[in-house]
């Protein structure tokens, strides 16, 4: 497989799968263009090489075919400004409009196709639909890591219609895959995974896979209380998945057998209600009184977690340590964010991924002090669960 930088697009029509699934307000104005700006270097390189670009993406989850709310037309003007190129727009991803506009496209020009998900065939991974799309260009570039875990027509199936030297990752995808591979397969020890968030059930597969690879697994957030209850602790009204108590015990046993250190938050900040204005106290995590709930890790846990993170050479962080959206319960997550940044400045490789940990690192303005912030969400989680992602496999 070629690296993107080694690929020459001179004279090529590149069909580029991007993730332009951006939020729009009621007047169809883009409220966060991060996903668009991320792909600009990929598009620029193709144009600078002397190629042309056909962009394809989904937007939202349209159920009933073409819907104004989900039209990619709303992105044309902003994209044109960002690229400094007048972006053309095809009313349909595979119709006559798309075929004619793609055929007429010249070097240096950019065409955006209408939302792929206006066709049911996209999410079904329909081969005929993928083949029609593939005919629009002569090389395929996948730059949509956010949908790499889906075997959709434009993210995976389409790659079958291009030869080995006619398909490549774009820069976004390349960066994501490199950093994820580095952590999962080439982690320098000690490797510490920090897993937080609300539910054990969402994170079981990732923890089980990490039990084969990490040296330390720090568990914080609401999910920690299921572990404390499983060990016989008293957790008051804290979040708990009673149907996962056996799973928690099983994880603790496997960790012992694999010599992986599982580190739980010894103490908690407890509250008498789920509110920023609640009364709060410090308390041992396994002695929480009835009527109170643990909403953040406590000072002892902050110190213990910090110490382990500082000594690590590889850090993976997914999920907040508490209800960080409320300032009263943000301190644990903030401490961890600073510890990860400090470890990084001391030479560790740090990867932050999964929706809420990205929001957290941004809240504390530390995104540029860690090695990599993934835009992947579900795709990154599935990667760390040890699954093969169709979007990656199709290119590799």
199 annotated active-site: yes
C-alpha torsion sign, points 77, 158, 50, 5: positive
Distance CA 147, CA 170 (A): 14
- 134 or 357, CB closer to ligand AMP? 357
Q: Does 332 bind ligand AMP (CB under 6 A)?
A: no
What is the widest separation between alpha-carbon atoms in the chain? Answer: 71
- 36 or 379, CB closer to ligand AMP? 379
- 135 or 300, CB closer to ligand AMP? 300
Q: Does 199 bind ligand AMP (CB under 6 A)?
A: yes
Q: Does 363 bind ligand AMP (CB under 6 A)?
A: no
Q: Does 390 bind ligand AMP (CB under 6 A)?
A: no
Piece of the chain touching ligand AMP by CB under 6 A; list 10-18, 144-152, 196-204, 308-316: 196-204
Q: Where are the beta strands (DSSP E) in the chain?
A: 13-17, 52-56, 88-90, 110-113, 139-142, 167-169, 191-195, 216-219, 234-235, 261-263, 267-271, 280-284, 287-288, 293-297, 314-318, 349-352, 372-373
Q: How far is the CB of 320 from ligand AMP (least distance, A)?
A: 5
Distance CA 324, CA 347 (A): 27
Q: Where are the beta strands (DSSP E) in 170-246?
A: 191-195, 216-219, 234-235
Choosing from 12, 35, 45, 229, the catalytic residue is: 35
Q: How far is the CB of 196 from ligand AMP (least distance, A)?
A: 6
Distance CA 284, CA 292 (A): 12
Q: How far is the CB of 229 from ligand AMP (least distance, A)?
A: 13
- 176 or 356, CB closer to ligand AMP? 356
60 annotated active-site: no
Question: Among residues 24, 76, 107, 198, which is the contact residue for ligand AMP, using CB under 6 A?
Answer: 198
Question: Among residues 148, 323, 339, 395, which is the contact residue for ligand AMP, using CB under 6 A?
Answer: 323
Residues facing 89 on adjacent strands: 112
331 annotated active-site: no
Residue/partner pairs of 29-32 with CB below 8 Å, 24 or more apart: 29/74, 30/74, 30/75, 30/78
Please state the separation of Cα 296 from the chain's center in Å.
24
Question: Among residues 16, 136, 239, 339, which is the contact residue for ligand AMP, using CB under 6 A?
Answer: 239
Q: Cβ–Cβ contacts within 10 Å for residue 259, how many?
A: 7
Q: Footprint of ligand AMP on this chain (CB under 6 A)?
A: 197-199, 202, 221-222, 239, 294-295, 319-320, 322-323, 325, 356
Catalytic annotation, residues: 35, 199, 355, 378
């Amino acid at each position: 497989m070629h690296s993107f930088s080694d690929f020459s697009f001179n004279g090529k029509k590149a069909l580029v799968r991007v993730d332009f699934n951006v939020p729009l307000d009621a007047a169809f104005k883009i409220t966060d263009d991060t996903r668009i700006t991320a792909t600009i270097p990929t598009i620029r390189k193709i144009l600078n090489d002397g190629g042309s670009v056909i962009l394809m993406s989904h937007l939202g989850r349209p159920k009933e075919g073409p819907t104004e709310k989900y039209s990619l037309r709303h992105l044309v003007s902003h994209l044109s400004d960002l690229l400094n190129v007048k972006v053309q727009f095809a009313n349909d991803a595979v119709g006559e409009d798309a075929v004619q506009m793609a055929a007429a496209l010249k070097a240096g020009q950019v065409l955006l196709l209408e939302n792929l998900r206006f066709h049911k065939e996209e999410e079904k991974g329909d081969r005929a639909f993928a083949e029609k799309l593939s005919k629009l260009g002569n090389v395929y570039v996948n730059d949509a890591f956010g949908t790499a875990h889906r075997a959709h027509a434009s993210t995976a199936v389409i790659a079958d219609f291009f030869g080995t030297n006619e398909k490549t990752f774009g820069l976004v995808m390349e960066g994501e895959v490199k950093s994820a591979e580095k952590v999962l397969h080439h982690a320098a020890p000690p490797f510490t995974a920090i897993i937080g968030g609300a539910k054990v059930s969402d994170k079981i597969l990732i923890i089980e896979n990490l039990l084969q690879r990490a040296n330390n697994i720090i568990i914080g957030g609401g999910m920690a209380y299921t572990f404390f209850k499983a060990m016989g602790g008293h957790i008051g009204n804290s979040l708990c998945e009673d149907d996962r108590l056996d799973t928690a015990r099983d994880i603790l046993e496997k960790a012992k057998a694999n010599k992986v250190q599982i580190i739980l938050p010894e103490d908690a900040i407890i509250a008498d209600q789920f509110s920023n204005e609640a009364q709060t106290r410090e308390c041992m995590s396994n002695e929480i009184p009835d009527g109170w709930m643990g909403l953040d890790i406590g000072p002892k846990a902050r110190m213990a977690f910090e110490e382990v993170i500082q000594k690590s050479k590889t850090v993976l962080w997914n999920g907040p340590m508490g209800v960080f959206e409320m300032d009263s319960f943000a301190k644990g997550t903030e401490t961890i964010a600073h510890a990860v940044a400090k470890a990084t400045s001391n030479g560790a490789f740090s990867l932050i991924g999964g929706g809420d940990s990205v929001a957290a690192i941004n809240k504390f303005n530390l995104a540029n002090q860690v090695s990599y912030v993934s835009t992947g969400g579900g795709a990154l989680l599935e990667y760390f669960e040890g699954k093969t992602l169709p979007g990656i496999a199709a290119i590799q």
